[in-house]
């Protein structure tokens, strides 16, 4: 097998796996009413079928990256696929909420292993010079699967039933892992690096508590004691994590690295991008169905304008490889803000054509942010930390999506309460104001992109304790 063929097969396997992980976020969304009814969830708690997956992957993805660096990225990727498949099997046979949630959490943990190791494997296979284009392909195609999730979910729910979702998705994971076993080179695990179990526990606990607070806040009320308690615990554990990571020899997260402009600026810009993407997907789906009266399948089709621009994702990566990550991320954030403003106007005017244009502009802007973000974060870390750097980038995106859903949920709730109605006019106003919140997120992303260092990111010299670069 030639090196070119091997690289292409690596890219195929990793693109399929990352696409699966993002697809699993949204494919379930249109199936929630039926899934909740069949597994004993109430209408007010069925959202945890989605949120449990997001909380698990956000809390575990950085730890998953460190496990890949410590024990080998190929091994971490394959084991992630195994855990993900086990979770799907449990969800497929679930008849009650406990088994369903255990299955969804296992899917999140498995995805938390697969995503950072998969991105690091692609980075290692293509090297610094071609990393942006390769990651652009991964992010572009996987983002399309994030957008088409509601379409496929609606088709499956109306056809073979929602349980078929958890039969199809593990097949993709198994095929990706099988291909990875043959085409990903076995490297030397970095046995000299500590796993930092206390740091891993603190990180997972902090993110879980904060995400639970963000998820429950819009429904229960931000001043409710349980919401405040979760938020306080999350912040306290986060502060303890920062203190610990600055006082241990082999930390889970390199705090000095995270403080550099080369790292925190793309992280914030990418977080704001995913704030917009996930919030827009969730609340546009609600508006299309509740405000416009469309079916779940038709509502999914209405997202197509955001999917079509996927073809430019590799171009965004090539642009970043040649000119550096700063300019494309600023352009992408600008397009996101403009697209959200157009979408907000469409909501206020109750005009789908305007919304479609806004979705298209957002679809163009997204790869110009997410592709350079991965390249900047991975390229700005030592080679032995590539998987954990990919984990930080992934965690920022998932956290951004959770924050976006929480913030826009709070905005929507306030508008509907103020208008005292849930009719079409109230829904259009609520959606419009939610999109204005997304405009603000886009402006913050622009600011973070402007703060990035000029020039392309390049791999740093490996630290003295590093093992040879591995996959």
pLDDT (0 to 100) of residue 464: 38
**Cα–Cα distance between 402 and 18 in angstroms, integer?**
18
Residues 429-470 have pLDDT tens digits of: 989 999 999 999 999 999 999 988 775 454 443 443 444 444
**Cα–Cα distance between 208 and 199 in angstroms, integer?**
14
pLDDT (0 to 100) of residue 55: 79
* Residue 318, φ and ψ in degrees, nearest 5: -65, -40
What's the average model confidence in pLDDT over 349-373?
89
Residues 234-281 have pLDDT tens digits of: 999 989 988 988 888 777 777 777 777 778 888 899 999 989 988 888
- Distance from the first to the final alpha carbon of the chain: 18
Residues 6 or more apart whose CB falls under 8 angstroms from that of 422 comprise 290, 416
| Both structure tokens of 296 | 């779940």
pLDDT (0 to 100) of residue 85: 94
Which stretch of 10-14, 132-136, 206-210 has the lowest confidence by average pLDDT?
A: 132-136
> Is pLDDT larger for residue 441 or for residue 292?
441
This prediction's pTM: 0.75
Residue 287 has pLDDT above 60, yes or no: yes
Residue 195 has pLDDT above 70, yes or no: no
**Cα–Cα distance between 435 and 340 in angstroms, integer?**
6
pLDDT (0 to 100) of residue 276: 93
pLDDT (0 to 100) of residue 457: 52
Closest CA to 106 of 152, 47, 42, 173: 173
The 3-class SS string of 269-318 reads HHHHHHHHHHHHHHHHHHHHHHHCCCCHHHHHHCCHHHHHHHHHHHHHHH
% pLDDT > 90, the chain: 21
Distance (Å) of CA 199 to CA 98, 204, 208, 243: 28, 9, 14, 10
**Cα–Cα distance between 39 and 100 in angstroms, integer?**
7
What's the average model confidence in pLDDT over 108-131?
83
**Cα–Cα distance between 225 and 68 in angstroms, integer?**
38
Mean pLDDT score of the chain: 81
> Is pLDDT larger for residue 308 or for residue 194?
308
Angle between helices 386-419 and 352-379 (to 10 degrees): 150
What's the average model confidence in pLDDT over 75-81?
90
Closest CA to 104 of 43, 162, 188: 162
Collapsed DSSP state (helix, strand, coil) of residue 87: helix
DSSP annotation of 29: G
**Cα–Cα distance between 302 and 355 in angstroms, integer?**
9
What's the average model confidence in pLDDT over 39-47?
71
| Both structure tokens of 142 | 């996987």
């Amino acid at each position: 097998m030639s090196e070119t063929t091997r690289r292409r097969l690596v890219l195929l396997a990793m693109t399929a796996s990352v696409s699966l992980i993002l697809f699993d976020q949204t494919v379930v969304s249109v199936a929630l009413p039926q899934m909740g009814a069949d597994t004993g969830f109430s209408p007010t708690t069925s959202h945890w079928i989605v949120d449990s997956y997001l909380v698990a992957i956000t809390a575990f993805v950085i730890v998953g990256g460190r496990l890949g660096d410590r024990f080998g990225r190929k091994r971490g990727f394959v084991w992630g696929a195994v855990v993900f498949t086990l979770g799907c099997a449990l969800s497929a046979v679930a008849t009650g909420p406990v088994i369903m949630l255990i299955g969804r959490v296992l899917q999140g943990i498995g995805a938390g292993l697969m995503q950072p190791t998969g991105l690091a494997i692609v980075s290692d296979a293509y090297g610094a010079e071609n990393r942006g284009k390769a990651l652009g392909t991964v992010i572009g195609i996987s983002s399309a699967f994030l957008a088409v999730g509601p379409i496929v979910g609606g088709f499956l729910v109306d056809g073979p039933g929602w349980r078929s979702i958890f039969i199809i998705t593990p097949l993709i994971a198994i095929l990706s892992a099988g291909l990875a076993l043959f085409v990903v080179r076995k490297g030397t695990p970095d046995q000299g690096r500590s796993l930092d179990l206390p740091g891993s526990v603190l990180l997972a606990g902090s993110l879980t508590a904060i995400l639970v607070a963000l998820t429950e806040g819009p429904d229960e009320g931000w001043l409710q004691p349980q919401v405040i308690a979760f938020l306080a615990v999350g912040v306290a554990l986060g502060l303890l994590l920062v203190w610990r990571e600055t006082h241990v020899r082999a930390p889970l997260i390199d705090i000095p690295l995270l403080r550099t402009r080369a790292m925190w600026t793309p992280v914030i810009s990418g977080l704001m991008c995913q704030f917009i993407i996930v919030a827009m997907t969730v609340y546009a789906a609600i508006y299309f169905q509740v405000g416009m009266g469309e079916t779940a399948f038709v509502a999914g089709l209405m997202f197509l304008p955001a999917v079509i621009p996927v073809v430019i994702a590799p171009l965004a990566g090539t642009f970043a490889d040649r000119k550096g990550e700063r300019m494309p991320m600023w352009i992408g954030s600008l397009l996101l803000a403009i697209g959200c403003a157009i979408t907000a106007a469409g909501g206020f005017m109750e005009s789908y054509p305007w919304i479609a244009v806004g979705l298209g502009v957002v679809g163009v802007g997204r790869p110009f942010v997410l592709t350079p973000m991965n390249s900047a974060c991975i390229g700005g870390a030592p080679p032995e930390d590539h998987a954990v750097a990919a984990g930080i980038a992934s965690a920022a995106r998932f956290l951004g999506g959770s924050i976006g859903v929480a913030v826009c949920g709070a905005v929507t709730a306030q508008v509907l309460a103020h208008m005292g109605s849930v009719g079409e006019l109230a829904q259009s106003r609520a959606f419009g104001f939610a999109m204005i919140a997304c405009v603000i997120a886009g402006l913050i992303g622009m600011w973070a992109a402007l703060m990035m260092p000029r020039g392309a990111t390049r791999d740093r010299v490996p630290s003295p304790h590093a093992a040879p670069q591995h996959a």
